[in-house]
């Protein structure tokens, strides 16, 4: 039955006819429904280019679907163009004092250290960077870095580097015990793994939608717990984030903000028109995930990675991903990542090789098969054999 479900799921992805695609952590191949929604939106713009009302109904529906998937309220979901925008909303909205500190780890996405080091320069905060050991970030080391001056813990739920998975509830409890807050980049987890912001008591979360959520590029969502919305002011302003707007009578026709209060929802962080075309594409992607069942997807992703690890270890490869890790990403070391990645690409096998890092990342989603993983490992073995000749 599982094989039949996978076979049916694969029919939604035209890319899989030509590629052994094991690179979802970079970007998912678009399902047919997303492609069709993109075309439908453009066709609607041809036929009815002023159909803002119908666009907004799709926005509302998609916002609600995201909320349902992560255990939030629709009023707690805002749209951005990238996950980085969400973390910037938090960073720019908090009232910083010199000596405050932010705790993060060295497996986080590069936005985090770049952003918080910038705040260190402009606001005099301290950045506490917890180092991984053998691909794992020890919770106790994070706990030792947190103190009475900690304002925020910033983590990637799943590391883009090696798939290391944090315990969100434990981190939330740690942060809240010290009067701090928890920010989560969930770009490498939502769509593949179960995540409930209410159960995990997450304060802020962002997620790009073009990876495990199967959506278009150029769109992300931002979750902000309801209790924080009056405490985090928008850092950008535009007409879209006001419930209504009235123009003044002078020639500048400026919006009268005093009589047009901000939305009392996460829409207050959306200053201008949204990427409607991408939202049109995300809606059927979310429906596909719902139809397949997120619990089944998670089980499938985790089982594929167990098989992947077993096969990589059978080749004698050393993994950067710690043993027992539960995510959709496995990263191994090689002495020539660039040439191996190119060799695999010529075999129509897609993975991510990081030049200069000696690492190759493999990230199968539910649409992949154990046979594809075996094909990857056979190709790696063949490449190594040729090099020894």
**Residue written as tokens 């207050």?**
268
Residue 27 lies in a domain: no
Does residue 86 surpass a pLDDT of 90? yes
Confidence of residue 386 (pLDDT cuts 50, 70, 90): confident
Which pLDDT belongs to residue 187? 98
* Model pLDDT for residues 283-340, shown as the tens digit of each residue: 999 999 999 999 999 999 999 999 999 999 999 999 999 999 999 999 999 999 999 9
Tell me which DSSP letter residue 131 carries: P
Instruction: Supply the range of the domain harboring residue 370.
Output: 2-22+293-384
CB contact at 8 A, 30 and 37: no
Q: With 0-12 CB in 10 A as exposed, 13-18 as middle and 19+ as buried, what is 35?
A: middle
Does residue 276 surpass a pLDDT of 70? yes
CB contact at 8 A, 254 and 288: no
Sheet of 359-362: strand order equals 330-333, 359-362, 352-354
Q: Which of 233, 262, 289 is the last residue before a domain boundary?
A: 289
Return the percentage of the chain with pLDDT > 70, whole number.
Answer: 95
Beta bridge mates, 21: 350
Whether 135 and 251 map to the same domain: the answer is yes
Identify the H or E element spanning 330: strand 330-333
Average per-residue pLDDT for the chain: 94
Higher pLDDT, 86 or 258: 86
Does residue 255 surpass a pLDDT of 80? no
Residue 29 lies in a domain: no
Which pLDDT belongs to residue 260? 64
CB contact at 8 A, 258 and 235: no
Whether 206 and 126 map to the same domain: the answer is yes
Confidence of residue 261 (pLDDT cuts 50, 70, 90): confident
Q: Which of 289, 309, 342 is the last residue before a domain boundary?
A: 289
Identify the H or E element spanning 370: helix 370-388
Beta bridge mates, 143: none
- What are the respective helix, strand and coil percentages of the chain, to the nearest 5? 45, 15, 40
């Amino acid at each position: 039955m599982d094989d039949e479900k996978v076979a049916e799921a694969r029919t939604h992805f035209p890319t899989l006819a030509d590629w052994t695609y094991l690179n979802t952590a970079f970007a998912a191949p678009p399902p047919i429904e997303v492609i069709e929604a993109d075309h439908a939106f453009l066709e609607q713009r041809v036929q009815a280019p002023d159909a803002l009302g119908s666009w907004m109904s799709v926005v509302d529906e998609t916002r609600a679907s995201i909320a349902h998937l992560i255990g939030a309220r629709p009023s707690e979901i805002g749209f951005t163009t990238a996950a980085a925008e969400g973390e910037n909303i938090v960073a720019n909205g908090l009232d910083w004092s010199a000596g405050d500190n932010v705790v993060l780890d060295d497996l986080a996405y590069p936005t985090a250290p770049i952003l918080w080091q910038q705040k260190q320069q402009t606001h005099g905060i301290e950045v506490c960077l917890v180092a991984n050991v053998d691909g794992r970030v020890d919770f106790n080391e994070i706990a030792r870095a947190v103190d009475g001056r900690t304002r925020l813990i910033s983590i990637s739920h799943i590391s883009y580097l090696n798939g290391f998975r944090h315990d969100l509830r434990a981190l939330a409890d740690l942060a809240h015990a010290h009067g701090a807050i928890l920010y989560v980049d969930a770009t490498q987890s939502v769509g593949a793994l179960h995540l409930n912001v209410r159960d995990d008591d997450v304060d802020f979360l962002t997620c790009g939608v073009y990876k495990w959520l199967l959506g278009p590029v150029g769109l992300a969502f931002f979750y902000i717990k309801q209790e924080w919305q009056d405490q985090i002011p928008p850092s950008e302003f535009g007409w879209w984030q006001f419930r209504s707007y009235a123009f003044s009578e002078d020639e500048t026709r400026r919006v009268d903000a005093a009589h047009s209060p901000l939305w009392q929802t996460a829409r207050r962080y959306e200053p201008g028109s949204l990427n409607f075309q991408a939202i049109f594409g995300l809606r059927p992607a979310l429906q596909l995930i719902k139809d397949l069942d997120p619990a089944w997807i998670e089980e499938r992703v985790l089982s594929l990675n167990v098989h992947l690890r077993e096969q990589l270890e059978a080749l004698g490869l050393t993994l950067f991903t710690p043993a027992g890790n539960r995510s959709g990403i496995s990263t191994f070391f090689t002495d020539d990542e660039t040439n191996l990645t190119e060799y695999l690409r010529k075999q129509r096998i897609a993975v991510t090789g990081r030049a200069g890092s000696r690492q190759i990342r493999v990230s199968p989603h539910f649409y992949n098969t154990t046979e594809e993983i075996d094909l990857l490992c056979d190709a790696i073995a063949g490449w190594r054999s040729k090099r020894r000749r």
